[in-house]
């Protein structure tokens, strides 16, 4: 697939169009996004009218042509992506694509069918299923022809194309999840720790529960184990209530009441800092005070029930509108066994820590309610990814929190989030995290992903034994520690880099696919944006190898879809047709001769070409139509 012109390519064309250097400002990196969406932007008139710079009419006309070509090429690339996706997954015998197989491939990349970003595609599948009057079966078991498939995926083609081009933050998501699975099973054998017993209802939880969920900033999701079993948030709610307080009240006001220092003491110890404030929002005293700020200063007219719904809605927005529950049994149990928390509350009231008009008992109830909200590993992993993504939920793309507030939350999670183990955790793991006595650990890898682990047995400091081990194992394998050297730390994996990132490996992989006749692999390389014309040291291209091995389908794909030169020469002067003749592949020779005749005919007729490739120079003389697979092969498909 032709890659979209970048700023440097556009600048080159701009200069070739005899545009003065003074007008090149339009192609600065800051303006590229506006240029890409110029047909839907108010910026269009400003650019075309030349406001801010004197652009002569001829230069303006040249720019309009250039812009039109850029937009046309972008739209063509989208169409090519749809064709390649269909060819990649279609059944060669029936010529139809099984949508279940397609969705399964999307899932391996991390995109699930309940992802709201592909909601239009899923709705289209249901409509097609209904229009075809299917009595039984599922919309997910349909077989679609090319035109129907393109219509179904059209609303979400940009996201889907990015997925199959491996343009997400974790390109090789399937390989990454294999490593996650290995760490999961390694930690499952850890039988250390005991379930929290100071809250009677929590003591009844099955200690064998162990679940892990991952959600990247691009919405790639993976779960293993007991990831759909609901449990109460407990202290994992503390960074979330703190984030809401920052968002609604601002950091200056919040930190008039709550400090920012690690306490160095137990999470529920009866102690304040030297200014008679709770040390930080990640311990019980600080979280109780944060909840009092939300209860008293944010929409003070709300009742306690309304404030609970308000806070729960905030949590849900962070989780991509996933629903959260409430465990009333745990709430009542926690309130009945809350002597230490009430002692903290009254101690802070003695030192006048609360805002004016704060009702201590209502504030305590609100704190217990936030701790008793119920969610799963999967839901909380999305919340963690929202924090990793600077406050923007990856699934809904809603900006739930300001990035500055997220930075403050992550800073305190890093220094105070793991109770009295925070310093050692920061040293070993080096990532923001928050644990809770429910057995949960929320881990945030900034600008990459969020991970949530849940296993009820706790160590003496109140952290999940399996959760802490998982985090340590994770940074031993991947360079996720904040102070890992990304350039020279070769002993660790970097999942943010593609397996075939280097040019040498790309060439080897491409040529091997051609030599083995793997058309599907070639389609994947094409879809990923790889340069299909790459050659080895001897100048041998993928077409050379496909011809020498007699793989006619590969030859057709390389010429018809990739537009590779049909007469490229290697270091010995051999062309692909020479390779086919040498090894006696008659069908390949005949096809190459036919292709060469069409190229020569197109050159004689002097037709204009949109790209410098065989694909677009091969045109018919009378109609000017491009020789595409539709004209070179007679195809028939039944429309559902």
- Reported as a single tens digit per residue, the pLDDT across 57-114 is 767 777 676 766 666 655 555 557 888 889 888 888 899 999 999 999 999 999 999 9
Position 266 pLDDT exceeds 80: no
Structural domains of the chain sorted by starting position, each given as residue range(s) with its CATH number in brackets: 81-165 (1.10.238.210), 180-477 (3.40.710.10), 499-603 (1.25.40.20)
Residue linked to tokens 């592949």: 585
The residues, any chain, with a CB within 8 Å of residue 632's CB and separated by 6 or more, are 556, 560
| pLDDT score, position 147 | 92
Q: DSSP states of 215-253 as a string?
A: EETT--EEEEESTT--EE-GGGGHHHHHHHHHHHH-HHH
Our CA dihedral for 576, 577, 583, 585, rounded to 10 degrees, sits at 120
- Reported as a single tens digit per residue, the pLDDT across 456-502 is 999 999 999 999 999 999 999 999 999 988 766 667 888 987 655 55
Residue linked to tokens 């012109």: 5
Mean confidence (pLDDT) of the chain: 83
Position 2 pLDDT exceeds 70: no
Looking at per-residue pLDDT, the higher value among 417 and 8 belongs to 417
| pLDDT score, position 180 | 97
- Reported as a pLDDT band with limits 50, 70 and 90, residue 135 is low
Looking at per-residue pLDDT, the higher value among 615 and 636 belongs to 615
Cβ–Cβ < 8 Å for 542, 522? yes
The residues, any chain, with a CB within 8 Å of residue 633's CB and separated by 6 or more, are none
């Amino acid at each position: 697939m032709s890659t979209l012109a970048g700023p440097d390519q556009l600048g080159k064309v701009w200069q070739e169009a005899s545009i003065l250097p003074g007008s090149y400002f339009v192609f600065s990196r800051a303006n590229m996004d506006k240029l890409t969406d110029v047909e839907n932007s108010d910026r269009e008139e400003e650019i075309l009218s030349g406001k801010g710079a004197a652009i002569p009419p001829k230069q303006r006309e040249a720019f309009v042509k250039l812009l039109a070509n850029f937009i046309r090429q972008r739209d063509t690339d989208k169409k090519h992506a749809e064709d390649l996706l269909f060819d990649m997954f279609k059944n060669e015998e029936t010529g139809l694509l099984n949508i279940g197989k397609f969705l399964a491939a999307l899932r391996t990349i991390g995109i699930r069918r309940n992802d709201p970003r592909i909601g239009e595609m899923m709705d289209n599948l249901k409509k097609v299923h209904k229009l075809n009057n299917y009595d039984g079966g599922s919309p997910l078991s349909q077989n679609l022809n090319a035109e129907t498939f393109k219509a179904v995926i059209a609303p979400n083609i940009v996201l889907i194309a990015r997925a199959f081009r491996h343009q997400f933050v974790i390109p090789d998501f399937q390989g990454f999840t294999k490593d996650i699975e290995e760490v999961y099973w390694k930690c499952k054998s850890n039988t250390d720790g005991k379930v929290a017993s100071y809250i009677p209802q929590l003591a009844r939880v099955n200690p064998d529960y162990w679940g892990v969920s991952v959600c990247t900033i691009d919405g790639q999701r993976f779960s293993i184990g007991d990831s759909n079993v609901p449990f109460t948030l407990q202290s994992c709610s503390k960074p979330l209530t703190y984030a809401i307080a920052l968002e609604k009240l601002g950091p200056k006001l919040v930190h008039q009441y709550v400090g920012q220092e690690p306490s160095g003491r137990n999470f529920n110890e009866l102690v304040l800092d030297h200014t008679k404030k709770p040390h930080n929002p990640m311990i019980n005293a600080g979280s109780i005070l944060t909840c009092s700020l939300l209860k008293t200063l944010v929409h003070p007219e709300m009742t306690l029930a309304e404030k609970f719904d308000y806070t729960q809605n905030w949590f849900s927005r962070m989780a991509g509108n996933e629903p959260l529950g409430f465990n009333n049994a745990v709430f009542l149990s926690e309130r009945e066994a809350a002597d230490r928390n009430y002692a903290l509350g009254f101690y802070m009231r003695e030192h006048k820590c609360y805002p004016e008009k704060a009702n201590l008992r209502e504030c305590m109830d609100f704190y217990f309610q936030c701790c008793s909200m119920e969610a799963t590993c999967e839901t909380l992993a999305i919340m963690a990814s929202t924090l990793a993504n600077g406050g923007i939920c990856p699934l809904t793309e809603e900006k739930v929190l300001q990035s500055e507030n997220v930075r403050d939350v992550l800073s305190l999670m890093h220094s105070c989030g793991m109770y009295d183990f925070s310093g050692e955790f920061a040293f070993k793991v080096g990532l923001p995290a928050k644990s809770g006595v429910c057995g949960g650990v929320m881990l945030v890898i900034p600008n990459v992903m969020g991970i949530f682990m849940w296993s009820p047995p706790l160590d003496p400091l109140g952290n999940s034994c399996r959760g802490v081990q998982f985090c340590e194992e994770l940074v031993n394998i991947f360079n996720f520690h904040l102070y890992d050297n990304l350039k020279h730390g070769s002993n660790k994996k970097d999942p943010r880099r593609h397996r075939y990132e280097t040019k040498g490996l790309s060439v080897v992989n491409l040529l091997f696919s051609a030599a083995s006749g793997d058309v599907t692999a070639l389609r994947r390389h094409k879809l990923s944006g790889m340069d299909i014309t790459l050659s080895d040291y001897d100048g041998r291209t993928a077409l050379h190898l496909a011809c020498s091995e007699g793989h006619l389908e590969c030859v057709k794909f390389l010429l018809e879809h990739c537009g590779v030169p049909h007469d490229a020469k290697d270091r010995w002067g051999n062309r692909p047709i020479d390779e086919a003749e040498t090894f006696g592949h008659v069908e390949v020779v005949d096809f190459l001769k036919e292709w060469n005749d069409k190229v020569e005919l197109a050159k004689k007729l002097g037709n204009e070409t949109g790209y410098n490739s065989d694909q677009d120079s091969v045109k018919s003389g009378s109609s000017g139509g491009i020789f595409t697979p539709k004209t070179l092969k007679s195809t028939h498909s039944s429309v559902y």
